[in-house]
Amino acid sequence: MSRVGKKPIPIPDNTKVSYNDRIITIQAAKGSLTRTIHPSVDLRIKDNTIEVLLKTDDRENRAFQGLVRSLIENMIIGVSQGFKRILEINGIGYRAEVQGKSVVFNIGYSSPVTFALPDGISASIDKNTVITLSGINKEQLGQTAAAIRRLRPPEPYKGKGIKYAEEHIQRKAGKAGAAAT
């Protein structure tokens, strides 16, 4: 039984919500997001709250109820507050810099890697090694952060590579010394 899906979503005062023909649009200070709602659920907007209602009560539809509720809540948080994702670059000589709408990485390859940022995502870099991505669409932000991390995933021996700030890299010991002769 979905407990998340039954919970009403509060709408902040400065946010406008419109729902027509299975398409929800949410507008606030940071921008506007639009999403098509799954056909097995429906929305009811009243008294500054949004409720996600089931059309038929079975296991699969209850899962969609929770999913749609989470997606709508993330849209509301995104357009009112925004989301951030922080990545760290570890390794000697590894660094990054922003050039217009792209980020140039020097991460141990023979030539720099240029990563074009998608529309709606912005990047700032602190100390050449800390990348802060921000945007209003949580899904797009996570995909962009994962694509940047894939450029040079952290390796387990020295921890060199690009990792999320909250990520912990499990270290390996490496080779034990030379064998006694």
- CATH number assigned to the domain comprising residue 14: 3.90.930.12
Given a cut of 60, whether residue 166 has pLDDT beyond it is: yes
The verdict on 38 and 60 lying in the same domain is yes
The verdict on 88 and 159 lying in the same domain is yes
Q: Which domain, by its residues, includes 150?
A: 83-164
Given a cut of 70, whether residue 97 has pLDDT beyond it is: yes
Q: How far apart are CA 171 and CA 167, in angstroms?
A: 12
Higher pLDDT, 97 or 169: 97
Q: What is the pLDDT of residues 20-73, one digit of tens each?
A: 888 999 998 888 999 999 888 888 888 889 888 888 888 888 888 888 999 999
The verdict on 62 and 39 lying in the same domain is yes
Report CA Rg, the chain. 22
pTM for the full predicted model: 0.82
Q: How far is CA 121 from CA 35, 37, 83, 148, in A?
A: 18, 24, 10, 13
Query: What is the per-residue pLDDT for 58?
Result: 84
- Conformational region of residue 76, where left means phi above 0, alpha means psi within -120 to 50, and beta covers everything else: alpha
Q: How far is CA 58 from CA 1, 2, 6, 51, in A?
A: 9, 10, 14, 18
Query: What is the per-residue pLDDT for 104?
Result: 92
Q: How far is CA 29 from CA 45, 81, 120, in A?
A: 20, 8, 14
Query: What is the per-residue pLDDT for 180?
Result: 56
Q: What is the pLDDT of residues 105-136, one digit of tens each?
A: 988 889 999 999 999 899 999 898 899 999 99
The verdict on 24 and 88 lying in the same domain is no
> Is 57 contained in some domain?
yes
Q: Which helix (H) or strand (E) holds 76?
A: helix 59-80
Selection from 34, 26, 31 nearest residue 50 by Cα: 26
Given a cut of 70, whether residue 181 has pLDDT beyond it is: no
Query: What is the per-residue pLDDT for 155?
Result: 87
The verdict on 76 and 87 lying in the same domain is no
Query: What is the per-residue pLDDT for 38?
Result: 87
Domain count, the chain: 2
| Contact status, residue 14 vs residue 29, Cβ threshold 8 Å | yes
The verdict on 62 and 127 lying in the same domain is no
> Is 172 contained in some domain?
no
The verdict on 130 and 92 lying in the same domain is yes
Arithmetic mean of pLDDT, 86-94 = 89
The verdict on 69 and 89 lying in the same domain is no
Given a cut of 80, whether residue 178 has pLDDT beyond it is: no
